[in-house]
Amino acid sequence: MAQTLKTIGLWLSILLLAGALHADSTAPPPRQRVVYLGRIGAAADPGFLALSQAVARLPAGLAQRIELRFVTALLADGQHRIQLAIDEALALRPEVLVGTAFVASELKKRHVQQPVLFTSFVHPVRMGLVSTTGARQEAMAGVWIADETDGKRLELLHDAYPGVRSVAMLMDRDWGMATDATRILPPLARKLGLTLTLLYADDLKEAEPLLARPESARFDAWLLPPTGLSYLYSPQLLKIFSTWGKPVITGDTQDVMRGAPLALMVEDAFRWDAQAEVLARVLQGERAGAIPIQRSYKALLSARPEPIGGFPAPSATVLRRADLIVR
């Protein structure tokens, strides 16, 4: 009897062990935490939403392992809480940190140990994020929306409005520094027969008094590149330009949807799928610095034959060259 009970106990132990092993083999793999340092909140940050959707499009085995968390680093008024955000992000013990070029630069200053992924509209080498867009030592990777087309925007402004002679370009200081605007653009403007004035404002609070000066209304046309300033305050700035009835070209197709006459925008739809792919490679063990910076070379010219709000119409020559006509 004792022997029989001993045998039954042995078989029960074997069955329990087999069940435990089977349960372990079918359990979902451990999740890998990724923290996105973004703007305002998870529901309000278009970058976080787009990356979340791109991660969901990854192969199921990869997508299910990624736990994407959000920490507020940038505020609605153009201000930030970056140092507090970094502390909060690190407290979550992430495997990877994700953010804008500004966020990545602040993470680099803090010498964080985790790989950092970024998206940037300015050259990441000029910004000091990485030493090269190829293989590098820094534990950073990401996407560069390679917008170095301000010179082309000047040419389009000249062709769309042949009577223009003076142009003002409004940008934040980071954009001017990163694109080397002071050195590159004035000589090009002179070749086109234009006088170019570079104006700097880092937020709307600084831009409004600048635009309220009498001399600001005297420029023949305006160039508004896709800077942090325009990203946050483009509708307000366009409203001011439209009251003057002056030509404007921007760096965002959405501005033409709002009524502006022209925009030349570097194609950026690829960036979130590319970012998700880079993220998956890093989480699978590939070194971030071994992954080349992803970039796009395509630019989209959009135009309105009948702009809204007082802007003059661009020339037929430029309208014929447009990739997208908005009516």
Tell me the pLDDT tens digit for each residue of 195-253: 999 999 999 999 999 999 999 999 999 999 998 899 889 999 999 999 999 999 999 99
Alpha-carbon distance of 211 to 241, in angstroms, equals 9
Work out the pLDDT band at 4, boundaries 50, 70, 90. low
Spatial neighbors of 155 by CB under 8 A, at least 6 apart, are 188, 192
CA 235 from chain centre, in angstroms, equals: 19
Fold for the domain defined by 32-144+268-295:
Rossmann fold (3.40.50)
Range from 145-149, 164-168, 190-194, 260-264 carrying the lowest mean pLDDT: 145-149
pLDDT band per the 50, 70, 90 thresholds, residue 174: confident
User: Domain spanning 150-261+304-325: which CATH class is it, in words?
Assistant: alpha beta
**Cβ-proximal residues to 2 (8 Å cutoff; 6+ apart), any chain:** none
Calpha distance 126→131 (Å, rounded): 9
* Percent of the residues in the chain that have a pLDDT greater than 70, as a whole number: 91
Buried b or exposed e, range 112-123, using 16+ CB within 10 angstroms: bebbbbbbbbbb
Say which residue, 121 or 99, is predicted with more confidence: 99
Query: Side by side, which strands form the sheet with 221-224?
Result: 195-200, 166-171, 221-224, 248-250, 262-266, 299-303, 324-325
Residue 2: pLDDT band (50, 70, 90) is low
For the chain, give every domain's residue range. Answer: 32-144+268-295, 150-261+304-325
- Checking if the pLDDT of 60 tops 70, the result is yes
- Mean pLDDT, the chain, rounded, equals 90
In angstroms, the CA 227 to CA 202 distance is: 9
More confident residue, 286 or 148: 286
Nearest CA among 181, 171, 150, 154 for reference residue 237: 171
The DSSP bridge pattern shows strands 96-100 and 32-39 to be parallel
User: Quick check: 15 pLDDT over 60?
Assistant: no
Q: How much is the pTM?
A: 0.70
Of 149, 179, 129, residue with least CA distance to 293: 129
